[in-house]
Amino acid sequence: MKIEQIYTGCLAQGAYYIESNGEAAIIDPLRETQPYIDRLTKDGVSLKYIFETHFHADFVSGHLDLSKKTGAPIVYGPTANPEFEAIVANDGQLFTIGNIKIKVLHTPGHTLESTTYLLIDEQGKETAIFSGDTLFLGDVGRPDLAQKAANMSKEDLAGMLYDSLYTKILPLADDVTVYPAHGAGSACGKNMMKETVDTLGNQKKMNYALNQPSKQAFIEAVTDGLLPPPAYFGMNVAMNKKGYQLRNASIDSTKPNKAKNTEYIKQLLRSKLTWSNTCIVLIGPKTHSREWVNWEIEQAYKKQNRIVGVYINGASGVDLPENFNKYGDALVGWNSKNIESVLEGENKWYEPNDTPRINSPYAPSFGVC
């Protein structure tokens, strides 16, 4: 049996690769799936299952692409209602991967479908939990993100989280290893440790949420001091639940309609913005001076769209559109990894050569994946 944590520091996110006797499972994969494909090929194993602990808010999952490329089914816990083909498991259901088993523990609270996966090794020993956003190291998942979808208050969800932790997780043995979905720096918790792996026994001793004297005290402790979630969280949940596709809403410069009526042009551009939730601004030498660019950016901002700038290949020393400076969320060079990361919700401002931009809204918190 092999367990590997694939940790992405700039997202403070942990995906997991589990292999046993020629079969593998991946838990909470990121959007870029090629590293997983490469690993499967290198090990000469087949992917049997893709497990999702919940509908993620802080990143777009690679579950759909990975399933399409490998044929492996996607597995969610009880009550999940994805709008694509997936296995919605029962509480306590067992999945076999090689000589090991994964047991489904339904642990609602962070979200209603939140699930912890318990690994049972070749000898039948309960060895590890992949706790998603239910249990972090030093913290637990914030209970305020699913209020609208669940039609419940954060206090109600915190109460569910308490029941999940105290009836499903804490009864497990102290030597069980905890593999969480996030570490320090993630917006999904407020008190996470810098470490990314620990024993459950140590968490029982030092995690503040697991040492509250009552359910009410737990609810008050985990709901206190929560910062507002990032605006893009809702968009990511929708994409992870519904699936996603890229559509090009650009005006084709090779087919000009020679329109001159201002209102007609605005109507045409608005129709292109109607269905979108991300506005991508390709930035070249003349972008800042083009007639409708600033208006389009302002309209995208009013729609509360995410606005991402991408320098075209070879661009250097070019001016940014005025409204992009006002409303832009991220700016990167012509680099597929950086482009994908900002489309998934990461806020970074880079120069065309992929170095951090000094004068940017996010300069103090730059990290490199």
Q: pLDDT value at position 245?
A: 61
What residues does CATH 3.40.50 cover in the chain?
A: 248-365
Hey, what CATH topology would domain 2-240 get? Metallo-beta-lactamase; Chain A (3.60.15)
Say if residue 235's pLDDT is above 50.
yes
Q: Return phi, psi of residue 63, to 5°.
A: -55, -45
Does residue 321 come out as left (phi exceeding 0), alpha (psi in the -120 to 50 range) or beta? beta
Q: pLDDT value at position 363?
A: 41
- What are the pLDDT digits (tens) for 36-74? 999 999 999 999 999 999 998 877 888 998 999 999 999
Q: pLDDT value at position 132?
A: 96
Query: Which of 263, 294, 267, 260 lies closest to 279 in space, CA to CA?
Result: 294
Average pLDDT rounded to a whole number, residues 328-333: 90
Mean pLDDT, rounded, of the chain: 87
Angle formed at CA 343 by CA 338 and CA 349, multiple of 5 degrees: 50
Strand pairing category for 198-199 and 177-180: antiparallel
Q: pLDDT value at position 87?
A: 96
Q: pLDDT value at position 189?
A: 83
Q: Which region among 118-127, 130-139, 274-283 has the lowest average model confidence (pLDDT)?
A: 274-283
- What are the pLDDT digits (tens) for 80-111? 999 899 999 999 999 999 999 999 999 999 99
Q: pLDDT value at position 365?
A: 36
Say if residue 248's pLDDT is above 70.
no
CATH for 248-365?
Answer: 3.40.50
Residues recorded for the chain? 369
- What are the pLDDT digits (tens) for 13-37? 899 999 999 999 999 998 888 889 9
What residues does CATH 3.60.15.10 cover in the chain?
A: 2-240
Residue 151 pLDDT level (bands cut at 50, 70, 90):
confident
Contact 42, 66 (CB under 8 A): no
In angstroms, the CA 365 to CA 348 distance is: 9
Residue 258 pLDDT level (bands cut at 50, 70, 90):
low
Residue 367 pLDDT level (bands cut at 50, 70, 90):
very low
Average pLDDT rounded to a whole number, residues 176-205: 93
Say if residue 366's pLDDT is above 50.
no
